[in-house]
Amino acid sequence: MAPLISVVTTCKGRLEHLKFTLPYMLALPDCEVIVVDYDCPEQAGDWVRANHPDARVVQVGERPIFNAAKARNLGVAAASAPWLLMVDADVIVARELVEVVRGLMQPGSYLVPEVRPYPLMGVLVVARADFDAVGGYDETFEGYGSEDLDLTVRLGMAGRAVRTFPAGLLRSVLHDDALRGRFHEIADLTLNRTINELYRTAKMDLLRQGVTLDPDQARGLYAGARAAMLAPGGAPKLDVQLPPKTIANRALEVTFTYRLSALPPPDET
């Protein structure tokens, strides 16, 4: 019988976590499990084939820099079920999860855990058709953070309703933040998240104005956000120009300007 859900997880340097969490994923009823070995230095794919042949492996080589969005999209491309469960390699899933979400899965909606702490931000249950309709994960994002939030926001903008399931059905393997910055050009998580959020904010503002970026334009916008954050001396600033319009025989030019400045320290009185 065809699976109801394709569980997609990725691994690059997280084999220690995957060894612990993969058996829980494989124990989920009515599910297939897809592991993306994204040029894992520990050869995660080989270990999965040798120890858990029921899991499907997608293997990618020559990718020294990890791209979570690309890795997840590759896993989804190999999926066969009508629903997807996106879960990171350091997340333990309870067997009861499927029965809980089965009653919540409806066309035109997606599911996230409630409450959603940042170690569980990557967890998402979504119909494959809805995932494809919004173009999957945006592979422009680099480093750690925001690509998962970007996807759910675009699902919402496309009219898909968010529903929640108890976060207690999930547990994250505890580890330090240094692991999250490995295999990225920028290991500083705060700096990388800020770059990604600046790009995401500008992209969403353009989308709300009816401007859809092609891949080259998206990479150009991301490069601008990165350059703004890495520029020395002062508050970062990013200017984004909208396509020109004509109003009453006059040219209208609009530029969005984004400035980031330090917040004052909190009042402790």
Q: For residue 239, give every residue at least 6 positions away whose Cβ sits within 8 Å of its Cβ, in sequence order, or none.
A: 255, 256, 257, 258
> pTM for the full model?
0.93
Vertex 253: Cα angle to 250 and 254 (nearest 5): 140
- pLDDT, tens only, 53-98: 999 999 999 999 999 999 999 999 999 999 999 999 999 999 999 9
**Does pLDDT of 179 surpass 90?**
no
Range in 171-175, 195-199, 252-256 with the lowest mean pLDDT: 171-175
Peptide bond preceding 240 in cis form (omega within 30 of 0)? no
Q: Which residue has the higher pLDDT, 67 or 119?
A: 67
- pLDDT, tens only, 214-235: 999 999 999 999 999 999 876 7
> Given phi > 0 = left and psi -120 to 50 = alpha, else beta, which region is 145?
left
Q: Which CATH class is domain 5-177?
A: alpha beta
- pLDDT, tens only, 17-49: 999 999 999 999 999 999 999 999 999 999 999
Backbone angles phi, psi at 194, to 5 degrees: -65, -45
Q: What are 233's two structure tokens?
A: 């001396």
pLDDT (mean) for 175-196 = 84
Q: Which of 10, 13, 41, 9 is nearest to 182 (CA)?
A: 13
**Does pLDDT of 268 surpass 70?**
no
Q: Find residue 239's DSSP bridge partners.
A: 257
Vertex 10: Cα angle to 4 and 15 (nearest 5): 120
Residue 182 is predicted with a pLDDT of 82
**Does pLDDT of 13 surpass 70?**
yes
Residue 194 is predicted with a pLDDT of 93
Whether 36 contacts 58, CB under 8 Å: yes
- pLDDT, tens only, 152-172: 999 999 999 999 999 999 999
**Does pLDDT of 134 surpass 90?**
yes
